[in-house]
Structure 1
Amino acid sequence: MSATLFRYVVRTYLGFAVGILCALVTVFLVVDFVDRSRMYTGEGWVWSVVVLYANKALLCVQQLGPAALLLAAGAAVSSLRKRGEVTAMRALSFGPKALYLPVGVCVALACVGLIAFDEWVVVQAGIRVDEITTQRFNRWGDWGMYHTPKQWFRRGDHIFYLRSGSAQEGFVDVAILTVTPDFRLARRVDARSMRPVEGTRWKLEGVVERTFTRDGQSSVRELDEVEYDLGASARTFRIRPGRPEQMRVPVLREQITARGEVGLATRQFSLVLHNRFAYPLAGLPAALLAVGLALRPGRKGNLTVALVEGLLISVIMWGLMVVARTLVLSERLSPVLAAWFPVALLVVAAALLWLRGEGRLGRGGG
């Protein structure tokens, strides 16, 4: 393939990609501002809104990036076709690879960049958006769902109710229930404080211990200080508050393990972890699918048709992701399948269209 032609297609594609991404981000931010403008009040609100929407713009780049890559692929090829340049390439014996290859290389690099951008920029931008929205404009939404400290944990046959404190400094005003395999309460320990000692041993102060037998009898004893082996170390309670989307990959992995150890839900965290890679990478097969659609036999270089096709694919994929997320949270679908199924579907569609264009599947175009 000619290096000159490769660079020309790359420049054409990048021009459309940057322009479409900027247009999508601008439209989204304008619509969002108009919808929420009534809540922006108070002294110095203008600067707060500027900072807020600067961070929202970063979020939009990550959210709309794959769609922009898809739309740009169809628009770029349609533009080349409209100017007769695709016909000229064929006349010079350049096949569809002359378009697939440069677009694919650009999109692959962009997808890797979006993953890194999400990991190192978007995570912090999301935290900043929540801070400004809650603290400056007093709009809490579902903030409490993710930031309220967890208090109930289960580890083995122990159920912990830790009202306040941390794993490093210890907990205050705790209750520990010990249950039998048939989930009968065997012991309850209430303590003023609970601090880690070593391994799975904890020092409890101000203790009231109640034990229960199968025949309904109970006994109570009070202790100023006592140590228990609770089968859980301080690391067991390393549960971080916050949205999983605002956690980096190492933290997500840690939280999935930690939450699983104490009986907390992990499915949303697993879905976010896989989507950190699956969502940006979906832009690659989506863009190649758009190239194949733009090269269909009998297709004219119509930019409007290319954009409509791209938007239709984006809407279908977005719908699949919403349904998959719902199924994950309702425990009807695994997070891995939910994250990667849309990508796999795009890969299959792009491959079938390419094979058809090459004449290896049904009747190909010239």
Structure 2
Amino acid sequence: MNGTLFRYVARTYIVFAVGILAAVLTVFLVVDFVDRARNYSGEGWVWNVMLLYANKALVATQQLGPAALLLAAGASVSSLRKRGEVTAMQSLTFGPNALYLPVALCVAVACVGLIAFDEWVVVKAAQRVEEISIQRFNRWGDWGLYHNPKQWFRKGDHIFYLRSGSAQEGFEQVAILTVTPEFRLARRLDAKRMLPVEGTRWKLEGVVERSFTKEGQSQVRELAEAEYDLGATPQTFRIRPGRPEQMRVPVLREQIIARGEVGLSTGQFSLTLHNRFAYPLAGFPAAMLAVGLALRPGRKGHLTVAIVEGLIVSVTMWSLIVVARTLALSERMPPVVAAWLPATLLVVAATVLWLRGEGLLGRSGA
């Protein structure tokens, strides 16, 4: 393939991608500000709003990035076609790959960049957005749903209720229930304090121990302190509060394992982990689909049609993402399937159009 032509197509795509991303990002931020302007007040609110929206811009860039890549692909190819440059390429025996390959390279680099951008920039920016909203404008939203510490844990045949504290410093006012395989309560320990000793052994202070028999009888004894093997190490309780979207990949993996060990839900964390890669990478087949749509025979309208087609594909994929997420969080679909399903469908659609463009599937005209 001619290097000059490759660079020309790539440059055309990059110009459209940057312009479209800037446009949709501006519209998003302006609409968001107008919708929430009544909430911004107090001393220094102008500076705080500037900080807030600087961080929101970083978060929105990652969210809108795949859609911008899709729209830019259709718009750039349509622009070339409208100017007669696609026909000129065909007359010089250049096939559809003369357009697919430059766009594919640009989009692939952008998708990988979005993954790194999300991991190293967006995670921190999202935390900053929440901090400013809470501390400067007293907008709490669903903060408590993610940041209140977890108190109930299950490990093996032990159920722990830890009201406060940490594994390193010790827990205060704890209750530990021991159940049988039939889920019958066999023992209950209440203690004022619970401290790690070694391995799975813990020292309990101010202990009230209740034992229960199958016949329904119980025994109670009080101890100043005692050691018990509770089948859990301090690492068992390494549950971090916070939104999974605001955690980096190593932390997400750690939390999925840790939460699974103590009987907490891992669906949202697993979905977020897979989406960290699946969502940005969906921009690649989406852009290839847009190129295929822009090159289909007999297409009219060019740039306007390209934008409309891109918006239809984007809305369809967003709807599918929302449905798949809902099914995953309600445990009706595995998180890995929910995360990768939209990208997979885009790959299928883009492949079909490419095969048609190459004349390998059905008939293709000039």
- Name the TM tier (shorter chain): over 0.9
Taking structure 1 as the reference length, the TM-score comes to: 0.99
Moved more, 296-305 or 154-163: 296-305
Percent identity of equivalent pairs: 80
Contact 1:79–1:301 (Cα < 8 Å) also in 2 = no
Q: Do structure 1's residue 163 and structure 2's residue 166 form an aligned pair?
A: no
Q: Do structure 1's residue 328 and structure 2's residue 328 form an aligned pair?
A: yes
Q: Do structure 1's residue 309 and structure 2's residue 309 form an aligned pair?
A: yes
Q: Do structure 1's residue 22 and structure 2's residue 61 form an aligned pair?
A: no
Question: Displacement, 1:360?
Answer: 1.1
Can you list the C-alpha shifts for 1:129-169, whole angstroms capped at 9, x where unaligned?
Answer: 00011111111111110000000000011000000001111
Quote the residue 2:49 is aligned against.
Answer: 49
Q: 2:185 and 2:228 mapped to 1: Cα distance?
A: 18
Quote the residue 2:91 is aligned against.
Answer: 91
Q: 2:168 and 2:75 mapped to 1: Cα distance?
A: 55
Q: In the TM superposition, what are the counterparts of 1:1-366 in structure 2 within 5 Å?
A: 1-300=1-300, 302-366=302-366
Can you list the C-alpha shifts for 1:234-279, whole angstroms capped at 9, x where unaligned?
Answer: 0000000000000000000000000000000000000000000000
Q: 2:71 and 2:183 mapped to 1: Cα distance?
A: 56
Residue 242 of structure 2: SS of its match in structure 1? Answer: coil
Q: 1:246 and 1:88 mapped to 2: Cα distance?
A: 49
Question: Displacement, 1:365?
Answer: 2.1
Residue 171 of structure 1: SS of its match in structure 2? Answer: strand
Can you list the C-alpha shifts for 1:71-107, whole angstroms capped at 9, x where unaligned?
Answer: 0000000000011000000111111000000000000
Moved more, 183-192 or 252-261: 183-192
Amino acid in the other structure paired with 2:28: F
Q: 2:363 and 2:349 mapped to 1: Cα distance?
A: 16
Question: Displacement, 1:116?
Answer: 0.1
Question: Displacement, 1:301?
Answer: 5.7
After TM superposition, the runs of 4+ consecutive aligned structure 1 residues lying more than 3 A away are none
Q: 1:308 and 1:227 mapped to 2: Cα distance?
A: 69
Aligned-pair Cα RMSD in Å = 0.7
Can you list the C-alpha shifts for 1:165-222, whole angstroms capped at 9, x where unaligned?
Answer: 0111111110000111111111110001111111111111111101111111111111
Question: Displacement, 1:320?
Answer: 0.4
Q: 2:352 and 2:167 mapped to 1: Cα distance?
A: 53
C-alpha spacing 1:84/1:301, structure 2 compared with 1 (3 Å): farther
Amino acid in the other structure paired with 2:79: S
Amino acid in the other structure paired with 1:284: F
Q: 1:68 and 1:110 mapped to 2: Cα distance?
A: 11
Amino acid in the other structure paired with 1:185: L
Can you list the C-alpha shifts for 1:315-343, whole angstroms capped at 9, x where unaligned?
Answer: 00000000000001111000010011111
User: Structure 2: which 5+ runs fail to align?
Assistant: none
Amino acid in the other structure paired with 1:201: R
Amino acid in the other structure paired with 2:313: I
Contact 1:82–1:300 (Cα < 8 Å) also in 2 = no
Q: 2:365 and 2:46 mapped to 1: Cα distance?
A: 56
Contact 1:81–1:300 (Cα < 8 Å) also in 2 = no
Q: 1:28 and 1:361 mapped to 2: Cα distance?
A: 40
Question: Displacement, 1:300?
Answer: 3.5
Q: 1:170 and 1:255 mapped to 2: Cα distance?
A: 20
Q: 1:178 and 1:273 mapped to 2: Cα distance?
A: 33
Amino acid in the other structure paired with 1:207: V
Q: 1:316 and 1:243 mapped to 2: Cα distance?
A: 26
